Copies of this chain bind each other. A is one copy, B any other.
Amino acid sequence: MSSGHEGQSATPSRRHVLGAAVGAAAAVAVAGTGGYVAGGASSSSETGERQTTGRVPFYDPTHQAGIATPAQDRLAFAAFDLTGFDRGAVMAMLGAWSAASARMTAGLPIGPTETLPQSPPIDTGEALGLPPANLTVTVGFGASMFDDRFGLADRMPAGLRPIGELPGDAFDPRRTGGDLCVQACSDDPQVAFHVIRNLARIGRGTCVMRWSQLGFGRTSSTSQAQKTPRNLMGFKDGTRNIKDEQAEDLEHFVWVGEETDQPWMVGGSYLVARRIQMLIEAWDADYIADQEQIFGRYKNSGAPLTGHHEFDPPRFDAVHHDGSPVIATDAHIRLAAPEHNGGEKLLRRGYSYTDGTDPVTGALDAGLFFIAFQQDPHRQFARIQRRLGLRDLLNEYIVHRGGGEFAVPPGISGPGDWFGRALFTK
Contact = CB atoms under 8 A, between A and B. Distances in A.
A63 to B, nearest CB: 27
Contacts of A130: 44-45
Interface in A107-126: 113-121, 123-126
B11 A285 contact: yes
A176 interface: no
Nearest to A364: B197
Contacts of A213: 356
B230 A44 contact: no
B354 A193 contact: yes
Number of copies: 2
A52 interface: yes
B216 A117 contact: no
18 contacts: A44-B133, A45-B190, A48-B51, A74-B216, A113-B300, A118-B287, A124-B234, A174-B359, A193-B217, A193-B354, A201-B281, A211-B357, A212-B356, A212-B357, A214-B216, A216-B216, A355-B355, A355-B356
9 closest cross-chain pairs (CB), A and B: A125-B234, A117-B289, A48-B53, A10-B285, A189-B216, A190-B217, A44-B52, A208-B362, A209-B362
A119 B287 contact: yes
Residue among A74, A116, A126, A200 with most chain B CB within 10 A:
A126
A394 interface: no
Given A49-B53, A211-B357, A284-B201, A291 B364 contact: no
A22 interface: no
A323 B200 CA distance: 41
Interface of A: 10-11, 44-45, 48-53, 74, 76, 113-121, 123-131, 133, 174, 187-190, 193, 197, 200-201, 204, 208-214, 216-217, 227, 229-235, 280-281, 284-289, 291-292, 299-300, 352, 354-357, 359, 362, 364, 366
A410 to B, nearest CB: 29
Contacts of A230: 125-129, 190
A211 B170 CA distance: 24
Contacts of A352: 126, 190, 193
Given A117-B289, A119-B287, A190-B352, A125 B208 contact: no
Given A126-B230, A126-B233, A234-B128, A120 B364 contact: no
Given A53-B49, A197-B364, A300-B113, A217 B233 contact: no
Given A124-B280, A197-B280, 14 more contacts: A11-B284, A44-B188, A50-B52, A117-B292, A118-B289, A119-B287, A125-B233, A174-B359, A190-B216, A190-B230, A197-B364, A201-B281, A204-B281, A208-B362
